[in-house]
C-alpha cells in the first residue's frame, strides 16, 4: 500500500509511512529488496543495519535511478547514488555505510520517494567530522547535527546554530547543501502549519540553499500543476518582520522565486533530457504561468538558467558543455537573455578551465546589453575562488587595468557581491570592507561604488546606519550623494 503523503525531513527525523520493512535482528548482513513499481518504491520505507545491502529492482518496465536526497545534487549522501540510470531489467545495490535516516528519490521522476532508516549509534559532530568528513559524504555530519537540534529544540534553534556554524570553514564549504536539507525540513513543518513563514537571516545565506530545498520539496509534494501555493508563500515573505529591512525581505522573496525556477527545471520529464532548448522552453512557459510580474518571471528564469548551468557542469540530464553552449542564450526572450548569459557563459568557461584573460575576452564579444551583468558575475567569481584573502586592495587590482566605465562598474559591483558572500555573517566587517573598496576609487566610479555599498548593506542596516559607516571612511558629501 502506497501512502498518500511522504513526510520528508532532515537527517534523523523519522518519516511516517505504511509498508515499513525492518531488518532481521540477526547480526549477519542481509539483503533488503526495494522495487520500483508504477506506483512508486515498494516498500517506501525500510530499516537496515550497517553492512546490509539494499537492492533496487525495476518492476514497471522503465529505467529508474534511486539516489539520496537532495534532488538533483544527491549531496546528502553522495555514495548512495549509482551515477546513472538503471535499465528496466537491471539492479543496483547499495551497501549501508552510515547510521541515520536517508530519504531518497528516483532521479528520473523526483516526486517518487522513499526512505532508508539505518540503525546504529550516531556520532557527535566532532567525531563525525573526523571520521566521515571527506568529500564523498559532504553535508552528512552537519546535516545530522542540525537534525538533532530540530528534533530537540525546533527549526528556529537549528537556524541559529547554522548561523554560528557558518563561521567554521568545514561548515562554510558545505553550507549550501546543508541549508538545502534544512529547507526541506522546514517545508515539512510548514505543511503542518501553513501560516508559518520562515525569514530567519540564514534563509538568505549560503547561496539561498534554504529556499532551494524548501520550494523544491513543496513542489515535489504538491506537483507543478498548481503553482499558487508557491507564489503565495514567496509573496508572503514581504509581510514578515523577522528580517531586519525591506531590502532583506525583498531579496528573500527573490530567492524564493529563484528556487521555483530551480525546482521547475529539476522536475522536467526525462523524455526531454539532452535537449537544453526544449527543457528551457518547457520551463519558461511554467515560470510565465507562475506569475504575471515581469521581475518575478525574470528571477524565476534565473533559477532555471542556474540549474541548466549546473546540469551542464555535472553532466546531468544528458547535458554537457561545449565551446558554444552559451549560444543558446541568443534564442532566449530578450528580457531573460542576460540571466542566461550570466549562468552559461561563466559556467562554460569555468568548465573548460579558461584563464581569467580568456574569459574576459570572450565576454567582451557578447552584446553590450548583457555585458555588464555577465562581467559582474566574472569578477564576483574571480574574487570568491581565486583570491585566498580578498582584501579590498587585492580585489581592486582586477579593476586597475580596465578603462571602459561599463567594465569598471561591473568590476566594482562584482567585488562587492563577493565580499558580501564571504563576510561570514559579519555585517560590520562587510561595511568596513565595502567602503575601503570605495576609497580606492574616485570620481564617477566612486559614486557608483558607494551606491553599491549602500545597496548590499541594505539587507542588514537602515539607511542612516549605513551612512554612518560610510562617513568613517569617506567624506560626508560622498555618503550623502548615495542617499
Q: How far, in Å, CA of 164 to CA of 424, rounded?
A: 9
pLDDT given at position 388: 60
- What are the grid coordinates assigned to 253, written together? 522573496
Residues 253 and 238: beta-carbon distance below 8 Å: yes
34 - beta bridge partners? 56
pLDDT given at position 52: 95
User: What does pLDDT average to in each consecutive run of 10 residues of the chain (483 residues)?
Assistant: 31 35 62 95 95 95 90 79 92 90 88 89 74 59 78 85 80 78 80 75 79 82 80 87 81 89 88 94 94 95 94 89 95 95 94 92 94 95 76 94 96 93 74 96 96 91 93 91 55
Please tell me the number of Cα atoms within 13 Å of 49 on its side-chain side: 9
User: Inter-axis angle of helices 337-351 and 368-386, to 10 degrees?
Assistant: 40
Q: Which CATH architecture has domain 1-122?
A: Sandwich (2.60)
Residues 118 and 48: beta-carbon distance below 8 Å: yes
pLDDT given at position 15: 31
Three-state secondary structure string covering the chain: CCCCCCCCCCCCCCCCCCCEEECCCCCCCCEEEEEEECCEEECCEEEECCCCEEEEEECCCCCECEEECCCCCCCCCCCCCCCCCECCCCEEEEECCCCEEEEEEECCEEEEEEEEEECCCCCCHHHHHHHHCCCCCCCHHHHHHHHHHHHHHCHHHHHHHHHHHCCCHHHHCCHHHHHHHHHHHHHHHHHHCCCCCCCCHHHHCHHHHHHHHHHHHHHHHHCCCCCHHHHHHHHHHHHCCCCCCHHHHHHHHHHHHHHHHHHHHHCCCHHHCCCHHHHHHHHHHHHHHHCCCHHHHHHHHHHHHHHHHHHHHHCHHHCCCCCCHHHHHHHCCHHHHHHHHHHHHHHHHHHCCCCHHHHHHHHCCCCHHHHHHHHHHHHHHHHHHHCCCCCHHHHHCCCCCCCCHHHHHHHHHHHHHHHHHCCCCCHHHHHHHHHHHHHCCCHHHHHHHHHHHHHHHCCCCCHHHHHHHHHCCCCHHHHHHHC
User: Inter-axis angle of helices 443-457 and 463-471, to 10 degrees?
Assistant: 130
pLDDT tens digits, 52-86: 999 999 999 999 999 988 777 787 788 899 988 99
CA quadruple 251, 256, 261, 262: dihedral sign = positive
pLDDT given at position 387: 64
Amino acid at each position: 500500500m502506497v501512502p498518500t503523503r511522504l513526510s520528508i525531513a532532515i537527517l534523523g527525523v523519522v518519516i511516517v509511512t505504511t509498508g515499513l520493512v525492518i531488518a532481521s535482528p540477526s547480526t549477519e548482513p542481509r539483503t533488503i529488496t526495494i522495487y520500483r513499481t508504477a506506483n512508486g518504491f515498494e516498500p517506501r520505507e525500510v530499516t537496515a543495519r550497517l553492512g546490509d545491502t539494499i537492492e533496487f529492482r525495476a518492476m514497471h518496465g522503465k529505467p529508474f535511478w534511486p539516489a539520496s536526497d537532495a534532488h538533483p545534487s544527491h549531496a546528502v549522501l553522495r555514495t548512495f547514488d549509482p551515477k546513472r540510470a538503471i535499465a528496466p531489467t537491471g539492479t543496483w545495490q547499495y551497501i549501508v555505510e552510515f547510521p541515520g535516516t536517508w530519504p531518497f528519490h528516483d532521479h528520473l521522476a523526483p516526486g517518487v520517494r522513499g526512505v532508508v532508516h539505518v540503525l546504529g549509534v550516531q556520532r557527535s559532530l566532532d567525531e563525525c567530522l573526523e571520521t566521515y568528513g571527506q568529500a564523498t559524504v559532504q553535508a552528512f555530519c552537519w546535516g545530522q547535527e542540525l537534525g538533532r537540534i530540530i528534533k530537540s529544540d525546533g527549526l528556529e534553534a537549528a537556524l541559529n546554530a547554522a548561523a554560528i556554524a557558518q563561521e567554521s570553514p568545514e561548515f562554510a564549504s558545505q553550507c549550501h547543501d546543508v541549508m538545502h536539507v534544512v529547507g526541506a525540513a522546514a517545508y515539512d513543518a510548514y505543511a503542518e502549519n501553513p501560516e508559518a513563514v520562515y525569514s530567519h537571516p540564514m534563509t538568505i545565506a549560503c547561496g539561498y540553499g534554504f529556499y532551494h530545498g524548501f520550494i523544491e520539496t513543496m513542489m515535489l509534494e504538491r506537483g507543478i500543476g498548481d503553482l499558487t501555493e508557491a507564489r503565495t508563500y514567496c509573496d508572503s515573505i514581504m509581510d514578515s518582520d523577522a528580517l531586519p529591512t525591506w531590502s532583506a525581505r525583498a531579496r528573500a522573496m527573490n530567492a524564493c522565486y529563484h528556487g521555483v525556477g530551480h525546482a521547475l527545471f529539476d522536475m522536467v520529464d526525462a523524455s526531454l533530457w539532452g535537449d537544453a532548448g526544449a527543457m528551457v522552453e518547457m520551463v519558461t512557459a511554467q515560470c510565465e504561468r507562475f506569475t504575471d510580474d515581469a521581475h518575478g518571471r525574470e528571477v524565476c528564469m534565473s533559477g532555471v538558467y542556474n540549474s541548466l548551468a549546473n546540469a551542464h557542469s555535472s553532466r546531468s540530464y544528458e547535458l554537457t558543455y561545449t565551446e558554444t553552449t552559451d549560444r543558446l542564450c541568443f534564442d532566449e526572450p530578450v528580457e531573460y537573455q542576460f540571466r542566461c548569459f550570466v549562468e552559461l557563459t561563466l559556467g562554460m568557461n569555468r568548465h573548460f578551465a579558461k584563464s581569467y584573460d580568456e574569459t574576459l575576452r570572450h565576454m567582451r564579444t557578447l552584446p553590450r546589453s548583457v555585458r555588464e551583468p555577465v562581467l559582474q558575475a566574472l569578477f564576483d567569481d574571480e574574487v570568491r575562488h581565486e583570491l585566498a584573502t580578498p582584501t579590498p586592495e587585492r580585489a581592486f587590482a582586477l579593476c586597475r587595468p580596465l578603462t571602459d566605465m561599463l567594465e569598471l562598474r561591473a568590476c566594482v559591483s562584482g567585488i562587492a557581491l563577493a565580499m558580501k558572500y564571504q563576510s561570514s555573517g559579519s555585517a560590520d566587517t562587510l561595511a568596513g570592507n565595502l567602503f575601503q573598496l570605495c576609497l580606492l576609487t574616485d570620481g564617477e566610479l566612486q559614486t557608483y561604488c558607494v551606491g553599491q555599498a549602500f545597496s548590499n548593506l541594505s539587507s542588514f542596516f537602515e539607511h542612516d546606519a549605513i551612512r554612518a559607516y560610510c562617513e568613517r571612511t569617506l567624506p560626508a558629501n560622498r555618503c550623502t550623494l548615495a542617499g
